[in-house]
Chain A
Amino acid sequence: MTLKFNSVLIANRGEVALRIARACKFLGLTSIGMYAEGDEGQRHLQIVDKTICIGPSSAARSYLDKEKVLRAARLTGAEAIHPGYGFLSENAEFAAAVAAAGLTLIGPPAAIIRTMGDKIEARRQMMAAGVPCLPGTEGALPEDMAEARALCDAIGYPLIVKASGGGGGRGMRVVKSPDDLEVAIQTAGQEAIRAFANGDLYAERFLTRPRHVEIQVLADASGHAVWLSDRDCSIQRRHQKLVEEAPAYGVARSAVAELGQQCVTACKNMGYLGAGTFEFLYEDGKFYFIEMNTRLQVEHPVTEMVTGIDIVAEQIRIAGGAPLSVQQADITIEGHAIECRINAEDPRSFLPNPGTVTRWRAPGGPGVRIESHLYDGYTIPASYDSLIAKLIVLGATRAEAIRRMRAALAELEIVGVSTTVPLHQRLMQEEAFERADISVHYLEKLLNQE
């Protein structure tokens, strides 16, 4: 099917820009690379059909400048814009401006980006579609203790009482049992009044050891939607994911399939378009919706590895008006994939470590994939994200994938900058990780043991 555009402006840099450029080549589309001053050496600029420098190195005056990105599209004759992830990828104003300029955004419409960016509205839509959400009070807890207790009992324990107007841990109490509720509400309320001059509190279920499990979806303009796979992204530090896997090990397949269908329903209800991810916390066999990401995710390759579906190509085709090339019944998950995010960071302090990569040797062999814009002599600027490579492996089982990742990490050579490779090597040897005995707190606890 002919797409409604022939040319795509890649409004990003780094590995994702290269990924998008490759997908454009695969689809036979003209690709245009835009870059900030200092980014002339970006690898994707070597394979695109046209390039243009849009501004100085500061992201605010280049990759994040909506007017400049639109101007670059107009000047270069681009008919569509792929925002990648980060930068303008979840900016509803930008999506609206792209549509107003008569161009196609490779992503959902502005209204959906806006709705999913509003936590309360997103939660309302998810509940309407039957997607499980974290139980909690919709508004402030009533002052009458008996009424408050009835609401909290319905939520279940442990729960957390939080100040509506607060943050930073003040006006917040974890309540382990109904006996502790009254004291917790009183002390949190007093603290909230002192700290925020607002004693309103709300309560929600408190998860002590949740895993991060997410569902990848694709939806086309004809109202068809599919879910591709689940992913476990529990290995994270300060909400920054470091290792991702597909599928989520040890989670009942029937429960994942049910959740996937609920996400598909939500997509159809809201008229979702393109690739998206529903993020959940998972504990004791139950899922709780956190948020929806209305864009391509960094970790999309693990889903590609286990399903064989090219998510970026599908995303571009869908934006071009083509129907989904896969039906739900055709989608199967084969094997287990793991991705390690290689960041130019000190593996202990996690401080960015920009500099020049003097030697880069990527690993290879069966089931090993690298997504990276690095080359010998590449200088990592300090101004942007520290992600420099994604190492992805596929194994028949999770144990095989871990063995393959160990071998690939040992083969990988990055000289000149500190990276997170030593941390990944350590993780792949950890017994608890091997058993998938992990939660979103696992990595920080491991690091704190030192």
Chain B
Amino acid sequence: MPYANEDTASVELIRNVVLKMRRSGLSALDYEDCQVRLFLQLQEDAVSSYTNAMLPAKPVQAVHTPVLSPEMGTATFRHAPAQTIELGVDDHVDAEQILAFLEVGVIILPVVSPVAGRIAEIRMSEGDIVGYHDVLFSIRPT
């Protein structure tokens, strides 16, 4: 039963990763290689209660979540005919909130925040040519 063994090994591996994330105060992890993408996001209270319990004296550095361009194209804050998104650093955003758009020929794709938090950095400007998975924003957990 090689698959069962592999599954057991994978669950064990993820448990270890989660444990290490909690110890380090990480709230989210996004890892991708050629074959696999692993995205882990811990519940806020679980992170805080665990880190508070385990590491009371050490300040926890917040991990920023990158917001990636879904495609290669032209980044814009405008969606014709009239909608313009106005965002600034420190603004609060919800998970799944549209932060910008990407023009890919005639197709317009939304750029969506994967998490709730505050904008730590805006790396795109109106009309920028961006590549696939370029970082357009980073979000600081609240």
**A and B bound?**
yes
Q: Is the CB of B34 within 8 A of A383?
A: yes
Q: Is the CB of B105 within 8 A of A71?
A: yes
Selected interface stretch from B51-59, B78-86, B109-117, B127-135: B127-135
Please report the C-alpha to C-alpha distance between residue A383 and residue B73 in the assembled complex, in whole angstroms: 25
Please report the C-alpha to C-alpha distance between residue A341 and residue B74 in the assembled complex, in whole angstroms: 40
Q: Is the CB of A37 within 8 A of B105?
A: no
Using Cβ atoms and an 8 Å threshold, which residues of chain B touch A68?
72
With A53-B134, A54-B131 as given contacts, are A71 and B34 in contact (CB-CB < 8 Å)? no
Q: Does A136 contact B (CB under 8 A)?
A: no
Q: Among residues 45 to 60 in chain A, which have CB atoms less than 8 Å away from a CB atom of chain B?
A: 51-58
Chain B 74-113 per-residue mask, 1 if CB under 8 angstroms from chain A, else 0: 1000000000000000000000000000001100000000
Across the two chains, which residue of chain B brings its CB closest to A67?
B105
Q: Is the CB of B74 within 8 A of A75?
A: yes
Across the two chains, which residue of chain A brings its CB closest to B103?
A75
Partner of B132, one of A54, A76, A382: A54
Using Cβ atoms and an 8 Å threshold, which residues of chain A touch B134?
53
Chain B 1-35 per-residue mask, 1 if CB under 8 angstroms from chain A, else 0: 00000000000000000000000000000000110
Partner of B34, one of A51, A55, A72, A381: A381
Q: Is the CB of B74 within 8 A of A37?
A: no
Across the two chains, which residue of chain A brings its CB closest to B71?
A55
Please report the C-alpha to C-alpha distance between residue A382 and residue B35 in the assembled complex, in whole angstroms: 11
Q: Does A167 contact B (CB under 8 A)?
A: no
Using Cβ atoms and an 8 Å threshold, which residues of chain A touch B73?
71, 75
Q: Is the CB of A75 within 8 A of B72?
A: yes
Q: How far is the CB of A449 from chain B (nearest CB, A)?
A: 37
Across the two chains, which residue of chain B brings its CB closest to A383?
B34
Interchain Cβ contacts within 8 Å, total number:
35
Chain A 325-368 per-residue mask, 1 if CB under 8 angstroms from chain B, else 0: 00000000000000000000000000000000000000000000
Across the two chains, which residue of chain A brings its CB closest to B73?
A75
Q: Is the CB of A57 within 8 A of B129?
A: no
Please report the C-alpha to C-alpha distance between residue A54 and residue B133 in the assembled complex, in whole angstroms: 9
Q: How far is the CB of A16 from chain B (nearest CB, A)?
A: 21
Q: Among residues 20 to 59 in chain A, which have CB atoms less than 8 Å away from a CB atom of chain B?
A: 37-38, 51-58
Please report the C-alpha to C-alpha distance between residue A57 and residue B132 in the assembled complex, in whole angstroms: 11
The secondary-structure label for the interface of chain B is loop
On chain B, which size bracket covers the interface? Answer: 10 to 19
On chain A, which size bracket covers the interface? Answer: 10 to 19
Using Cβ atoms and an 8 Å threshold, which residues of chain A touch B132?
37, 53-56
Across the two chains, which residue of chain A brings its CB closest to B74?
A75
Please report the C-alpha to C-alpha distance between residue A337 and residue B128 in the assembled complex, in whole angstroms: 47
Using Cβ atoms and an 8 Å threshold, which residues of chain A touch B105?
71
Q: Is the CB of A71 within 8 A of B104?
A: yes
Using Cβ atoms and an 8 Å threshold, which residues of chain B touch A383?
34
Q: How far is the CB of B124 from chain A (nearest CB, A)?
A: 14
Partner of B129, one of A37, A52, A381, A382: A52
Q: How far is the CB of A9 from chain B (nearest CB, A)?
A: 12
Please report the C-alpha to C-alpha distance between residue A58 and residue B37 in the assembled complex, in whole angstroms: 14
Please report the C-alpha to C-alpha distance between residue A37 and residue B72 in the assembled complex, in whole angstroms: 11
Please report the C-alpha to C-alpha distance between residue A52 and residue B131 in the assembled complex, in whole angstroms: 5
Which of B's residues lie within 8 Å of A, judged by CB? 33-34, 72-74, 104-105, 129, 131-134
User: Which 3 residue pairs spanning A and B have beta carbons closest together?
Assistant: A53-B131, A52-B131, A53-B132
Sample of 30 A–B contacts (CB below 8 Å): A37-B133, A38-B33, A38-B34, A51-B131, A52-B72, A52-B129, A52-B131, A53-B72, A53-B131, A53-B133, A53-B134, A54-B72, A54-B131, A54-B132, A55-B72, A55-B132, A56-B132, A57-B34, A58-B34, A68-B72, A71-B72, A71-B73, A71-B104, A71-B105, A72-B72, A75-B73, A75-B129, A76-B129, A381-B34, A383-B34
